[in-house]
């Protein structure tokens, strides 16, 4: 049988097309259903891992904020019953810290199983004798910062020991203070011009920060938070800390946002001016 030229060319083209279909490069091959299933599974796995990391950490930060708000309410109730005065951060002469002073004002459901949980940040994984993850904004007890007021460039938490009581209140006050702690609660809410911008409590993650102990019960600057961050390697809340303001709200920020080493620490002090 004889083929016409046009028929011969068409036959050759069909052979070429079949060869091209047979020898398609693997890199040009379309996704199969199995490929799509495997890809979708990998994407879902990655989303799950990142979701657990983000939302797990976010949930811990939220529970930590709830702890601080509960303590903030207790501080307000303490002040209401103590002539508007905030609890001192430390009273060495009675081995009494701010934590034990506010316990009677915490809701029963938070203390019925022991008071430790409300004082422990869920992100605090360090070993403690009795965990306290929080600290009070400490007042610098130098003579120039006395008496407490708007002229002070320092915090609200008074730090009392034999030396500071004698120097600032006089020798007779030393004996009275051991029986009447109201004498030592001298920072009043009415003295603080900007409650929404004045920090009362924040986080400090350190194994030495324990309930009813004076060490780390008060700090005076965010630099001490940064120091603990680098020493302990604890990056809670993705390197940020919760800060409880006097008006009861909580802010989550880095120590560098809260203040710096150049004196820009408005939220760490009573004074209204920067």
Going from the first residue of the chain to its last (274 residues), give the mean pLDDT of each consecutive group of 10, the final group possibly shorter.
51 52 50 70 58 55 94 97 96 92 86 75 90 95 90 90 94 85 90 93 93 94 82 76 96 84 72 58
In angstroms, the Cα distances linking 158 to 20, 139, 143, 220 are 86, 5, 13, 11
What is d(CA 147, CA 203) in angstroms, rounded to the nearest whole number? 27
Q: Could you tell me if residue 138 is inside a domain? A: yes
**Structural domain tally of the chain?**
1
Give the number of other CB atoms < 10 A from CB of residue 228. Answer: 22
In angstroms, the Cα distances linking 68 to 43, 203, 226, 241 are 37, 9, 20, 11
Q: Could you tell me if residue 16 is inside a domain? A: no
Burial class (CB in 10 A: 0-12, 13-18, 19+), 91: buried
Output the six-digit token pair for 251.
């802010």
Output the six-digit token pair for 224.
């001490």
Q: Which residues contact 109 (CB under 8 A, 6 or more apart)?
A: none
Q: Could you tell me if residue 250 is inside a domain? A: yes
What is d(CA 115, CA 118) in angstroms, rounded to the nearest whole number? 6
Per-residue confidence (pLDDT) for residue 117, from 0 to 100: 84
Domain interval for residue 229 = 66-268
Q: Could you tell me if residue 119 is inside a domain? A: yes
What are the contacts of 174-177 at 24+ separation with CB within 8 A? 174/93, 177/91, 177/93
Per-residue confidence (pLDDT) for residue 52, from 0 to 100: 42
Q: Could you tell me if residue 144 is inside a domain? A: yes
pTM of the model: 0.77
Strand ranges across the sheet with 218-219: 218-219, 134-137, 199-203, 241-245, 250-253
Counting every residue, how long is the chain?
274
Q: Could you tell me if residue 3 is inside a domain? A: no
Sign of the CA dihedral with 115 first, then 117, 119, and 124 last: positive
Helix (H) or strand (E) segment spanning residue 169: helix 162-169
Beta strand 199-203 pairing with 241-245: antiparallel
Cα pseudo-dihedral 82, 133, 199, 251, rounded to 10? -130
Per-residue confidence (pLDDT) for residue 56, from 0 to 100: 46
Q: Could you tell me if residue 9 is inside a domain? A: no
Per-residue confidence (pLDDT) for residue 221, from 0 to 100: 87
Q: Could you tell me if residue 55 is inside a domain? A: no
């Amino acid at each position: 049988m004889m083929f016409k030229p046009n028929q011969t060319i068409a036959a050759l083209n069909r052979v070429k097309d079949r060869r091209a279909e047979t020898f398609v490069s693997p890199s040009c091959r379309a996704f199969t259903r199995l490929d799509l299933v495997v890809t979708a599974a990998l994407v879902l796995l990655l989303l799950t891992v990142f979701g657990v990391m983000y939302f797990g950490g976010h949930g811990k930060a939220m529970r930590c904020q709830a702890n601080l708000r509960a303590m903030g309410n207790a501080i307000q109730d303490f002040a209401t019953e103590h002539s508007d005065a905030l609890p001192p951060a430390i009273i060495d002469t009675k081995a009494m810290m701010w934590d034990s002073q506010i316990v009677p004002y915490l809701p029963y459901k938070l203390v019925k199983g022991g008071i430790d949980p409300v004082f422990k940040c869920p992100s605090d994984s360090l070993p403690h004798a009795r965990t306290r993850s929080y600290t009070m904004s400490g007042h610098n007890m130098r003579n120039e910062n006395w008496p407490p007021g708007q002229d002070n460039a320092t915090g609200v938490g008074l730090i009392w020991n034999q030396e500071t009581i004698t120097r600032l209140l006089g020798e007779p006050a030393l004996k009275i203070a051991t029986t009447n702690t109201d004498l030592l609660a001298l920072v009043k809410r009415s003295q603080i011009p900007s409650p929404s911008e004045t920090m009362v409590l924040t986080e400090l993650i350190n194994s030495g920060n324990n309930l009813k102990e004076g060490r780390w019960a008060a700090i005076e600057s965010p630099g001490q938070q940064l120091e603990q961050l680098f020493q302990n390697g604890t990056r809670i809340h993705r390197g940020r800390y919760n800060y409880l303001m006097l008006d009861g709200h909580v802010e989550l920020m880095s120590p560098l946002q809260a203040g710096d080493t150049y004196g820009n620490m408005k939220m760490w002090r009573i004074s209204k001016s920067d």
